[in-house]
């Protein structure tokens, strides 16, 4: 047990280490987060089982087997030789059994990997899933996968049963042969009865030992199948290895970057060239801005400089040296990356910033957060820098996450800075301050900027315009703007057309007041180019970023720090322990109720098989008596007993085959039901439940796979063994008492000692497994976060840090396992000691009885054999202790999910449905705090009315709670007090699923599923969707053009979380999905922010058309989007401080909106 646990921990660590050093192409094509977690939590269990206590047991059984044959050869070589003829049959049966189980086990594991992917995708994107009422679709997909796994497990049960049955059949046939041939040797060769008995008993013990290796062989086979898949990955040598210590190290990196005649296509789309002979040069210490339409390859430049990929031809040079010849870790340490969709890890703010630099001091971290303008909002949190950010940073708003990511890059103090829309998620004021900070950081550093905003782009030393992977224009802002027909001017012009109205309105409404800002020659430059260039995804067509779920969540908010999380975890575990006590096994049995007839027939088969061994005791004791009979009787009786052995062998074959097969069905069905029920419950929980660290996608995935597998062991193999052993004990005791009750009673007095040992072992083990299980879940969470954020881990060379955290999380459960192993070992040893003590007492008492004529020789052997099989059964049952203890903890874990009632249950049929929907929305005196941060007030008396068919825009600084309003409307959360009404009715009284079907949500950070573009768009509508509907929605969202240009069109896979598409392309697919839904209410959370100028212009027109006749709530920074709204509501300090049309608010002296607009313009 101890070595198995240690090796499994080592394999987990080596596997994670290997995964983290793989090149990014491996994650694009071969591996998903869900699959990796399934292997680390599920597959390592099989490996641990194969290399743990089963190895010791196998060696013990095999040494008994070999030792037995040596003794048999010494005693009577001729009889032994004849009995050996059965050995090839046993070996062939064992090999065939192992091969079949390995194959079937592999099929089941593949199906479970697919199921793990579905869990990871669904939980990881839960807000998108619930907003499109896609819970049941996820559950159906999940059920489909586990159905396949169930079929494999039934076939595995049948194969095990037949294999085991044939082994037992061969053993009994060998006794038949031994009885018949032994009699022949006594008559013909002068053997005596004692020699024949010796050989038979030794061979019997050897044969039983060989039979008992069957569970070990099954475990080895399943372990081999699991290990094969893991070691295939462990052996894989990445083409780009960050751990490779060879390569050039530049003592002093100057930072000159050059791309020479680069040809590149992504591994997933090898026929589609992104760069077709691209050449770029960024001199040391200068800045270059790259602009162009969405999907033109801007972010791909950053991917190549970070060496996430290598070009197919051409060179990427730093300081004139080819990147391929340099030591990768060293050069990545000199590069700082800030992405458009920042990736944060599930830890504290301090730890997240510290990823920028190893062994960073608290002062350095604070300085970096001040430079990134993050210190102010961090200080507002009760726990400051120790505030936890939640899974993927969901507890922070988009702007807050972005500032932490910038602080992380600033802390790194890099020679080369790569900014991919680094300030896009910030409000105007923060953006201006952070931009100043970045400008300071950029000085004397080589900087590449991918951005829309003119304020960011115009100050760059060189601006490069990319189109279809080629440079079409290059020069400074002042040079490029002179060419009216140039690509750069055209991009600006496109946005200016849309902004002219804004300009004229501003000038008319504000008159002389605006002169101050007009002194800047590009007074509206900031607005005019605000999002005109593609806000390509964080690492473009390639990126594997983990973005906020659904949409950039809560505003200026707090989360518990490490300590309070630990406290909460202790409470949770205490609750778990309480629950554990109250989980009777009969509840599990109740889940198996539909399989009651199968379990009854299985139990009958197990009982019959259990009775076989005491009956075997009668046969062997009777055949021993036969060997001392006269020759004529010996010949006749030997034939009779040989036939009886053969009959017993056939009964064993049938009973054991049925036992394994029927319990395989019942166990498989239980796993299928548990997984389906648990997952169904999980997806219908309220969003607040997923905010808890213990309910991350990695943890839930691990719980579903591990708990179900452990419980299946209890209901399948262990229950069958228990029934079999009980019938063995009952039959054995009855036969013994009938044979000679006095002797039987004396021997029975010893048997409770064996039972007591089993009970004590169970007691010791009970407390250990629950804690270890929870701790391994924490380790899974660390791995899940790292794998899903692999680009961030790679760019910050944080592989070692992740591994250290992972190993730390594995230390405690490993200690628990060692403790458990020692207790189990002592218990098992004590069990065997009691067994031999029982034998000793048996023979001592029997000798006395025979001496006093109270028992015959035949009775002694009969009682000895039948009670021996009974004591073996009891010690076997005591060995189930570890499994039963684990299964109880897993049952507690499962029922804690199944029994939890969701506070906002979308599966509930309760609630009203409005026959006629108008679309009036009203927030009345709404107070709200996030459940995970009850001490931070988000809304204080929020009042807002949105009339049917009207458009209301919410504005305010980053983190003021704009997206929270959308979360409350979608009923992701319920307000603490106040009412949100829909057509005059409190939304709490409406049916949750129906309410969400009336709303179409487009988020700032769009979530796509690992499927085709067609499937992602079709997700917007329940039921069958026609090709025409999909194409029409894509055309409205201006996505049809780029989709048609892809080699596989709508059948193109978007990759995990949409990584194969650029930010703009993802956003258009998300808009098409929302348009297909035909909602009554549109919720647009920065819906066009990731689009280039041309696409944004067309999509905005499409959204304007879609908004007609619909109630619309817009969250946006840009004046171009919000100025046309019927009402603009300004959020500040948790309530609406200003409300009115753009023209009215802009003219209000000292107004909040007017100052926001003024800031917006003056900063440009």
The string over 756-776, giving b where at least 16 C-beta atoms fall within 10 Å of a residue's C-beta and e elsewhere, is ebbebbbebbbebbbbbbbbb
Indicate the pLDDT class of residue 689, thresholds 50, 70 and 90: confident
CB 1102, CB 927: distance < 8 Å: no
State how far the Cα of 38 lies from the Cα of 44, in Å rounded to an integer.
9
Strand, coil or helix: what is 281?
strand
CB 1091, CB 535: distance < 8 Å: yes
Return the pLDDT at 548.
31
State how far the Cα of 88 lies from the Cα of 109, in Å rounded to an integer.
31
| β-pair type (977-982, 921-928) | antiparallel
- For the stretch 886-899, pLDDT in tens is 677 777 878 888 88
DSSP calls for 21-90:
HS-HHHHHHT--HHHHHHIIIIIHHHHHHHHTHHHHHHHHHHHHHHHHHHHHHHH-HHHHHHHHTTHHHH
Return the pLDDT at 501.
43
Return the pLDDT at 1089.
66
Look at residue 551 and tell me whether its pLDDT is greater than 50.
Answer: no
- The interaxial angle of helices 799-851 and 768-788, nearest 10 deg, is 150
Identify the weakest region by mean pLDDT among 148-157, 448-457, 1077-1086.
448-457
What average pLDDT is seen over the chain? Answer: 78
DSSP single-letter state for residue 934: T
Indicate the pLDDT class of residue 207, thresholds 50, 70 and 90: confident
The more confidently predicted of residues 1135 and 33 is 1135
Helical H segments across 214-371, by residue range: 214-235, 298-305, 328-332, 349-354, 362-371
Strand, coil or helix: what is 977?
strand
Give, in order, the Cα–Cα distances in Å from 775 to each of 41, 345, 820, 900: 12, 18, 15, 22
State how far the Cα of 730 lies from the Cα of 707, in Å rounded to an integer.
33
Q: What is the mean pLDDT of residues 688-709?
A: 77
- Give the pTM: 0.61
Indicate the pLDDT class of residue 644, thresholds 50, 70 and 90: very high
Percent of the chain's residues with pLDDT above 70: 84
Identify the weakest region by mean pLDDT among 179-183, 467-471, 974-978.
467-471
Indicate the pLDDT class of residue 647, thresholds 50, 70 and 90: very high
Sheet holding 951-955, edge to edge: 999-1002, 1081-1085, 1111-1115, 951-955, 1127-1132, 1135-1140
Return the pLDDT at 966.
87
Tokens of 832: 């065997």
Strand, coil or helix: what is 418?
strand
CB 810, CB 776: distance < 8 Å: yes
**CA angle centred on 1004, ends 1001 and 1005, rounded to 5°:** 105
Q: Which of 258, 283, 412 is nearest to 335 (CA)?
A: 412
State how far the Cα of 920 lies from the Cα of 947, in Å rounded to an integer.
5
Sequence-distant (≥ 6) Cβ neighbours of residue 1062 within 8 angstroms: 294, 295, 299, 534, 536, 537, 540, 541
State how far the Cα of 1030 lies from the Cα of 1038, in Å rounded to an integer.
12
Please report which helix (H) or strand (E) contains residue 258, including its range. strand 257-264
Identify each DSSP E strand in 451-541 by its residue range. 462-467, 470-475
Tokens of 572: 């949770």
Tokens of 316: 């990427």
Tokens of 1063: 């930010």
> What distance lies between CA 680 and its chain's CA centroid?
16
Look at residue 94 and tell me whether its pLDDT is greater than 80.
Answer: no
Q: What is the mean pLDDT of residues 487-494?
A: 74
- For the stretch 287-333, pLDDT in tens is 899 988 777 788 889 889 988 899 989 999 999 899 889 888 888 88
DSSP calls for 507-525:
HHHHGGGGHHHHTSTTTTH
Q: What is the mean pLDDT of residues 811-824?
A: 79
Q: Which of 612, 611, 645, 617 is nearest to 174 (CA)?
A: 645
Q: What is the mean pLDDT of residues 667-685?
A: 85
Q: Which of 705, 702, 711 is nearest to 778 (CA)?
A: 702
Instruction: Name residue, tokens 């700082």.
Output: 336
Look at residue 229 and tell me whether its pLDDT is greater than 90.
Answer: no
Look at residue 377 and tell me whether its pLDDT is greater than 90.
Answer: no
Helical H segments across 125-134, by residue range: 126-131
- For the stretch 520-532, pLDDT in tens is 333 323 333 333 3
CB 612, CB 655: distance < 8 Å: yes
Identify each DSSP E strand in 469-587 by its residue range. 470-475
CB 39, CB 229: distance < 8 Å: yes
What's the residue count for the chain?
1164
Identify the weakest region by mean pLDDT among 352-356, 926-930, 972-976, 1115-1119.
1115-1119
Look at residue 715 and tell me whether its pLDDT is greater than 90.
Answer: no
Identify the weakest region by mean pLDDT among 517-526, 652-661, 669-678.
517-526
- For the stretch 3-25, pLDDT in tens is 777 888 888 889 888 888 888 88
Identify the weakest region by mean pLDDT among 181-195, 446-460, 992-1006.
446-460
Return the pLDDT at 853.
86
Return the pLDDT at 540.
34
CB 1030, CB 1018: distance < 8 Å: yes
Identify each DSSP E strand in 1032-1126 by its residue range. 1081-1085, 1111-1115
State how far the Cα of 79 lies from the Cα of 194, in Å rounded to an integer.
13
Return the pLDDT at 1155.
78
Percent of the chain's residues with pLDDT above 90: 4
Q: What is the mean pLDDT of residues 389-400?
A: 77
- For the stretch 589-603, pLDDT in tens is 777 788 888 888 988
Look at residue 944 and tell me whether its pLDDT is greater than 80.
Answer: yes
- For the stretch 46-87, pLDDT in tens is 887 788 778 888 898 899 989 998 999 998 888 888 888 777
**CA angle centred on 862, ends 856 and 868, rounded to 5°:** 130
Q: What is the mean pLDDT of residues 458-483?
A: 85
State how far the Cα of 1084 lies from the Cα of 156, in Å rounded to an integer.
51
Q: What is the mean pLDDT of residues 407-416?
A: 86
Rg, C-alpha atoms of the chain? 36
Look at residue 510 and tell me whether its pLDDT is greater than 60.
Answer: no
Return the pLDDT at 650.
93
The more confidently predicted of residues 831 and 902 is 902
Q: What is the mean pLDDT of residues 263-276?
A: 85
- For the stretch 569-625, pLDDT in tens is 333 344 444 444 455 667 777 777 888 888 889 889 999 998 988 888 888 888 888
Tokens of 280: 């770029």
């Amino acid at each position: 047990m101890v070595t198995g646990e240690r090796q499994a921990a080592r394999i987990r660590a080596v596997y994670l280490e290997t995964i983290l050093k793989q090149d990014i192409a491996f994650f694009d094509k071969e591996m998903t987060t869900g699959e990796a977690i399934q292997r680390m939590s599920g597959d390592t269990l099989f490996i641990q089982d194969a290399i743990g206590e089963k190895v010791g047991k196998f060696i013990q059984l095999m040494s008994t087997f070999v030792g037995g044959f040596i003794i048999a050869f010494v005693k009577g070589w001729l009889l032994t030789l004849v009995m050996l003829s059965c050995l090839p049959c046993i070996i062939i049966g064992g090999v065939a059994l192992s091969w079949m189980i390995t194959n079937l086990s592999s099929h089941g594991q593949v199906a479970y990997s697919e199921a793990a992917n579905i869990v990871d995708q669904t939980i990881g994107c839960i807000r998108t899933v619930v907003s499109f009422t896609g819970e049941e679709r996820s559950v159906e997909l999940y059920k489909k996968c586990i159905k396949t796994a169930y079929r494999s497990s039934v076939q595995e049960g049948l194969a095990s049963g037949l294999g085991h049955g044939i082994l037992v059949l061969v053993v009994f046939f060998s006794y038949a042969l031994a009885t018949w041939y032994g009699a022949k040797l006594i008559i013909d060769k002068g053997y005596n009865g004692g020699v024949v008995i010796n050989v038979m008993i030794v061979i019997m013990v050897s044969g039983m030992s060989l039979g008992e290796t069957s569970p070990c062989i099954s475990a080895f086979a399943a372990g081999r199948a699991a290990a094969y898949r893991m070691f295939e990955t462990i052996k894989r040598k990445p083409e780009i290895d960050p751990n490779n210590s060879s390569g050039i190290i530049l003592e002093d990196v100057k930072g000159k970057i050059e791309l020479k005649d680069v040809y590149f296509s992504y591994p997933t789309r090898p026929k589609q060239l992104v760069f077709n002979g691209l050449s770029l040069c960024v001199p040391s210490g200068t800045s270059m801005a790259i602009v162009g339409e969405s999907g033109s390859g801007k972010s791909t430049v950053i991917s190549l400089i970070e060496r996430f990929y290598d070009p197919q031809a051409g060179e990427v040079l730093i300081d004139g040296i080819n990147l391929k010849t340099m030591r990768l870790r060293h050069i990545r340490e000199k590069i700082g990356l800030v992405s458009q969709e920042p990736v944060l890890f599930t830890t504290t703010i301090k730890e997240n910033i510290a990823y920028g630099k190893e062994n960073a001091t608290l002062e350095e971290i604070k300085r970096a957060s001040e430079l990134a303008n993050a210190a102010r909002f961090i200080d507002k949190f009760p726990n400051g820098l120790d505030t936890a950010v939640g899974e993927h940073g969901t507890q922070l708003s988009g702007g807050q996450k972005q500032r932490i990511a910038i602080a992380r890059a600033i802390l790194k103090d890099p020679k080369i800075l790569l900014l991919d829309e680094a300030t896009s998620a910030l409000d105007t004021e923060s953006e201006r301050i952070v931009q100043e900070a970045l400008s300071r950081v950029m000085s004397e550093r080589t900087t590449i900027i991918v951005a829309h905003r003119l304020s960011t782009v115009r100050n760059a030393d060189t601006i490069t315009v990319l189109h279809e992977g080629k440079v079409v224009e290059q020069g400074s802002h002042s040079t490029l703007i002179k060419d009216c027909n140039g690509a750069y001017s055209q991009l600006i012009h496109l946005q200016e057309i849309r902004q002219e109205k804004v300009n004229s309105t501003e000038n008319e409404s504000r008159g002389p007041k605006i002169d101050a800002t007009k002194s800047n020659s590009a007074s509206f430059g900031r607005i005019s180019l605000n999002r005109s260039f593609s806000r390509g995804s964080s690492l473009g067509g390639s990126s594997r970023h983990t973005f906020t779920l659904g949409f950039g969540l809560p505003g200026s908010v707090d989360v518990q720090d490490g300590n309070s999380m630990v406290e909460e975890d202790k409470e949770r575990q205490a609750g778990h322990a309480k629950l554990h006590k109250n989980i009777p096994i009969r509840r599990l049995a109740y889940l198996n109720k539909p399989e009651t007839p199968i379990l009854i027939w299985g139990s009958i088969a197990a009982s019959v098989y259990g009775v076989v061994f005491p009956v075997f005791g009668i046969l062997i004791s009777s055949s021993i008596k036969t060997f001392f009979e006269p020759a004529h009787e010996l010949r006749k009786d030997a034939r009779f007993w040989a036939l009886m052995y053969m009959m017993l062998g056939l009964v064993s074959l049938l009973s054991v085959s049925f036992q394994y097969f029927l319990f395989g069905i019942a166990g498989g069905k239980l796993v299928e039901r548990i997984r389906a029920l648990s997952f169904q419950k999980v997806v219908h929980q309220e969003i607040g439940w997923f905010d808890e660290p213990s309910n991350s996608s990695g943890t839930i995935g691990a719980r579903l796979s591990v708990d179900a597998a452990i419980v299946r062991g209890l209901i399948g193999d262990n229950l069958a063994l228990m029934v079999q052993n009980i019938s063995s004990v009952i039959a054995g005791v009855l036969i013994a008492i009938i044979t000679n009750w006095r002797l039987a009673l004396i021997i029975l007095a010893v048997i409770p000692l064996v039972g007591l040992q089993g009970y004590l072992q169970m007691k010791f083990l009970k407390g250990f497994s629950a804690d270890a299980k929870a701790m391994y879940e924490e380790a899974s969470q660390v791995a899940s976060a790292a794998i899903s954020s692999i680009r961030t881990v790679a760019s910050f060379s944080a592989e070692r840090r992740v591994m250290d955290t992972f190993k730390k999380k594995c230390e405690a459960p490993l200690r628990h396992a060692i403790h458990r192993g020692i207790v189990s070992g002592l218990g098992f040893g004590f069990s065997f000691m009691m067994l031999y003590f029982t034998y000793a007492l048996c023979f001592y008492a029997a000798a006395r009885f025979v001496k006093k004529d109270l028992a015959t020789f035949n009775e002694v052997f009969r009682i000895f054999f039948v009670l021996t099989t009974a004591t073996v059964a009891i010690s076997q049952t005591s060995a189930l202790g570890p499994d039963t203890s684990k299964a109880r903890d897993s049952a507690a874990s499962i029922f804690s999910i199944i029994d939890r009632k969701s506070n906002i249950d979308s599966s509930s049929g309760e609630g009203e449905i409005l026959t006629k929907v108008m679309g009036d929305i009203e927030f009345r005196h709404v107070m709200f705090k996030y459940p995970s941060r009850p001490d931070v007030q988000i809304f204080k008396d929020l009042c807002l009315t949105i009339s049917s068919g009207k458009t209301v825009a919410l504005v305010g600084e980053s983190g003021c709670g704009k997206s929270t309003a959308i979360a409350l409307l979608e009923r992701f959360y319920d307000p603490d007090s106040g009412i949100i009404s829909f057509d005059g009715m409190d939304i709490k009284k409406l049916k949750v699923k129906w309410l969400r079907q009336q709303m179409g949500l487009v988020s700032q950070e769009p979530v796509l599923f690992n499927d085709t573009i067609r499937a992602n768009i079709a997700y917007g509508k329940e039921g069958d969707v026609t090709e025409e509907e999909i194409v029409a929605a894509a055309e409205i969202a201006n996505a049809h053009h780029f989709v048609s240009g892809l080699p596989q069109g709508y059948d193109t896979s978007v990759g995990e979380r949409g990584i194969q598409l650029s930010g703009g392309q993802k956003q258009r697919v998300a808009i098409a999905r929302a348009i297909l839904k035909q909602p009554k209410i549109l919720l647009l959370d920065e819906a066009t922010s990731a689009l280039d100028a041309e696409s944004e212009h067309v999509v905005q027109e499409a959204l304007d058309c879609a908004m007609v006749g619909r109630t619309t709530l817009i969250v946006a920074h840009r004046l171009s989007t919000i100025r046309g709204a019927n009402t603009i509501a300004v959020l500040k300090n948790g309530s609406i401080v200003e409300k009115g049309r753009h023209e009215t608010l802009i003219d209000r002296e000292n107004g909040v909106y007017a100052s926001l607009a003024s800031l917006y313009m003056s900063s440009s």
